[in-house]
């Protein structure tokens, strides 16, 4: 895998509370230069980034729904999703209601996700964030089952707002559960070329990392 191929697996993001337009424009320029597949921003910036990426082939704009806690009331999440589509979002990362999930309100959690995903349209790629570092080992299979039944395209490991990074061993377990029924995105703690390889080998088709540029430069320096 060369650097260009690797870039097509990487989402870059500016989703912290303090990120300004300048930070986002910098992220867009990096995506333009390295051809990262997606630039992920908070909802209020989607229309802006969609405009900035108009002439950049192969790079789309993404945004979260129910970020970062997932506990918004369902009508709020649905409205947020609809507005994101209107503003030009192409990928949507939907935070599962983790509290209700851990309370074993599985039907409510599934219904919440289905309502959001049903209003996105077939052209929008959807990812469900299960916040893996909040889950016990015995909860993982049920979380995977709910995401598979929701109609999402991807399962994503976390928001990056909960302490602890992605875990390749747990990602491998998720892959064994979901097989080809879902793609997997790992996010958090992916800082080196070796980390990237480990998560790809564990079954990931997408990675979220703030170290994207240094990873790609490392691949170029290594001749990949």
Nearest residue to 153 via CA among 181, 172, 194: 181
Quick one: tokens of 206? 């997408």
Do residues 91 and 99 lie in contact, with contact meaning Cβ atoms separated by under 8 Å?
A: no
Paired tokens of 66: 């129910």
Q: Which of 11, 87, 153, 156 is catalytic?
A: 156
Candidates 77, 175, 183, 185; catalytic one:
185
**8 among known catalytic residues:** no
Choice among 11, 87, 93, 112 that is catalytic? 93
Clarify whether 93 is annotated catalytic. Answer: yes
Q: Which residues have CB under 8 Å from 112's CB, separation 6+?
A: 74, 77, 96, 97, 100
The reply to whether 156 belongs to the active site is: yes
Give the count of beta carbons closer than 10 Å to the beta carbon of residue 73.
Answer: 11
Active site members: 93, 156, 185
């Amino acid at each position: 895998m060369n650097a260009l191929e690797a870039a097509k697996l990487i989402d870059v993001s500016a989703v912290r509370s303090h990120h300004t337009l300048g930070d986002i424009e910098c992220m867009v320029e990096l995506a333009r230069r390295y051809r990262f597949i997606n630039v992920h921003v908070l909802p209020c910036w989607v229309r802006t980034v969609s405009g900035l990426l108009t002439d950049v082939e192969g790079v789309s704009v993404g945004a979260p729904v129910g970020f970062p806690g997932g506990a918004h009331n369902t009508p709020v999440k649905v409205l947020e999703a609809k507005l994101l589509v209107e503003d030009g979002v192409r990928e949507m990362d939907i935070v599962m209601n983790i509290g209700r999930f851990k309370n074993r309100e599985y039907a409510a959690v599934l219904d919440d996700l289905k309502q959001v995903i049903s209003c996105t349209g077939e052209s929008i790629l959807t990812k469900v964030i299960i916040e893996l570092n909040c889950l016990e080992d015995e909860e993982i299979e049920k979380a995977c089952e709910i995401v598979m039944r929701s109609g999402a395209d991807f399962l994503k490991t976390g928001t990056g707002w909960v302490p602890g990074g992605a875990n390749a061993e747990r990602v491998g377990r998720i892959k064994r559960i979901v097989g080809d029924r879902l793609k997997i995105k790992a996010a958090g703690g992916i800082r080196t070329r070796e980390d990237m390889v480990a998560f790809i080998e564990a079954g990931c088709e997408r990675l979220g990392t703030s170290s994207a540029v240094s990873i790609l430069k490392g691949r170029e320096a290594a001749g990949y």
